Chain A
C-alpha cells in the first residue's frame, strides 16, 4: 500500500500518466459542455418569473459550486502536504489556486450580471456576496504568498497553513443564505430535498456542473505538469522526457 502511494506520488509517474489522461478528459469535457450549453440555452424552458435571464444559472451556479469544491480539495492537499510532506500534494495545491480563483471570479461576475435585471443592482454587501468575495481574496492570497517566498518547499508550507485557516469561510458561504437575510435566493438544488425545478431545467445544470469538474481536472493536470518541470528541471525523469520528445 505504501509502495503504491509512493509510485503514484512520484513526479515521473504522475507526469507520464497525466499526459495520457488529458486527451480523454478533453473529449469527455467537450461532450458534456456542448450538451450543457444546448440544454441550458435551447431546450430548457424560460422561467415563469425570471424569463430568459434565469439561463445565467447554467454558468453561475456550476462556477459557484466549483469555487467551493476546489477550495475544499485544496484543504485536503494542504493537510496531506503538511502531515506527510508529499511533494505532489504541494504542487497540486498551488496548481489548483488559479483555477479556483477563475471560477470564483466567474461566479461573482455572472452573479452581478444576473442581479442587475432581477434585483436592480449589480452588487450588494450582503452575507453571500461578501463571503464569496472573501473567497476570491483567499485564492489570491494563496497565489501571492507562494510567489513571494523563494524556497518552494517553505512557500508550500506557508500556503498550506493559509489554506487550512481559510476553510472557516466555506461553511459561512454555504449557509449564508439561511443564517442571514440576503438578496440572494436560497439553494435551487440540494442533496436532501426534491429539486424545485423541472427535469428539463435541472439536467443541463447537473451536466454543466460535471463538465466544470472535468475541466478542473484538465486544467489542474496541465498546471501540475508545468509546475513539476519548473521545480525539477535537472531530474533524471525529465531528461528522459526531453530526450523522448526530441526523437519524435
Chain B
C-alpha cells in the first residue's frame, strides 16, 4: 500500500494531478446543480410577482 502511494518517487506529481482532476470534475457537476436550483427559485418568484401584478390590474 505505501509503495502504491509512493508512486516510484513521483507521488507529488501523480497524486496532485489526480486530485486536481477530481476537483475540476466536482466543480463542473455541483456548480451547475446549485445554479439550476437558484434559477428555478428566481423564475418561480418572478412568475408569482407577475401574477400578483396582473391581479392588481
Same complex: yes
Binding site for B on A (CB under 8 A): 37, 41-42, 46, 51-53, 55-56, 59-60, 63, 98-99, 102-103, 105-106, 109-110, 113-114, 116-117, 215, 218-219, 222-223, 225-226, 229-230, 233-234, 238-239, 241-242, 245
Contact yes or no, B10 A106, CB < 8 A: no
Q: Are B50 and A234 in contact (CB under 8 A)?
A: yes
In the bound assembly, the distance between CA atoms of A203 and B14 in angstroms comes to 19
Contacts of B32 in A (CB 8 A): 219, 222-223, 225-226
Residues of A within 8 A of B28 (CB): 98-99, 102, 215, 219
User: Which residue on A lies nearest to B11, using beta carbons?
Assistant: A52
User: Which residue, B4, B13, B20, has most C-beta atoms of chain A within 10 A?
Assistant: B13
Known A-B contacts A46-B8, A215-B25; A238 and B43 likewise in contact (beta carbons under 8 Å): yes
Q: What 8 pairs between A and B have smallest CB-CB spacing?
A: A222-B32, A52-B8, A226-B36, A233-B43, A53-B10, A229-B39, A51-B8, A52-B7
Query: When A55-B7, A215-B25 are in contact, do A116 and B17 touch as well, CB less than 8 Å?
Result: no
Determine whether the beta carbon of A55 is less than 8 Å from that of B14: yes
B27 and A52: CB pair below 8 A? no
Given A53-B8, A219-B28, the answer on whether A59 and B21 have CB atoms closer than 8 Å is yes
Complex contact A242–B17 (CB within 8 A) = no
Nearest-Cβ distance from residue A202 to partner chain B, whole angstroms: 19
Is B24's CB within 8 Å of the partner chain A?
A: yes
Question: Is B29 a contact partner of A218 (Cβ separation < 8 A)?
Answer: yes
Which label, helix, strand, loop or mixed, suits the secondary structure of the A interface?
A: helix
> What residue in chain B is nearest A105 (Cβ atoms)?
B24
Q: Beyond A63-B21, A225-B36, is A233–B46 a contact (Cβ under 8 Å)? A: yes
For chain B residues 1-50, which have a beta carbon within 8 Å of chain A?
Answer: 4, 7-10, 13-14, 16-18, 20-21, 24-25, 27-29, 32-33, 35-36, 38-40, 42-44, 46-47, 50
Q: Shortest CB–CB separation between residue B26 and chain A, in angstroms?
A: 11
**Bound CA span A52–B4, Å:** 10
Chain A residues, CB < 8 A from B46: 233-234
- Name 9 A/B residue pairs within 8 A (Cβ), A-sorted: A41-B4, A55-B7, A55-B10, A56-B14, A56-B17, A225-B32, A233-B42, A234-B46, A242-B43
